[in-house]
Amino acid sequence: MCGSGTTLVECKLTGRDGIGVDINKNALMIARDRLNFGYETIDNSIPKTTQKTYVGDARNLDKIKTGSVDLIATHPAIEIFDIKRFEMEKIYMSTHLES
């Protein structure tokens, strides 16, 4: 998920190409809007970069050429944390509050 595009903005500002993938079209529109700015760096060694976004599932990156990426940063689904938290609370309750 590319979310609101913060990582892509940082890629742009630090001279790295970026690709954002998200299943949420609205999130991509926000990311694209945030990427729509010009800038001049104080360090001329930082190259201009390309930021790409597309609608898709980050578990299936078939639009990205194999071997063309150096790093993938993903965000786990919030639901996973909610499920784990619920499981941990249930375990805690069963071990500490038994009558």
pLDDT score of 71? 74
Beta carbons of 4 and 27 less than 8 angstroms apart: yes
Helix (DSSP H) and strand (DSSP E) numbers for the chain: 3, 2
Band of pLDDT at residue 51, cut at 50, 70 and 90: very high
Taking CB atoms within 8 Å and a gap of at least 24, the contacts of 15-18 are: 15/41, 15/45, 15/46, 15/47, 15/48, 15/49, 16/49, 17/49, 17/50, 17/51, 17/52, 18/49, 18/50, 18/51, 18/52
pTM above 0.95, yes or no: no
**Averaged pLDDT, 71-88:** 59
Query: pLDDT digits over 29-49, tens only?
Result: 999 999 999 888 778 888 888
Using the predicted structure, report yes or no on whether residue 89 has a pLDDT greater than 70.
no
Q: Give which of 40, 25, 30, 69 is closest to 12, Cα–Cα.
A: 40
Q: How far apart are CA 79 and CA 86, in angstroms?
A: 10
pLDDT band at 95 (very low <50, low <70, confident <90, very high): low
Domain ranges of the chain: 6-96
CB of 90 within 8 A of CB of 24?
no
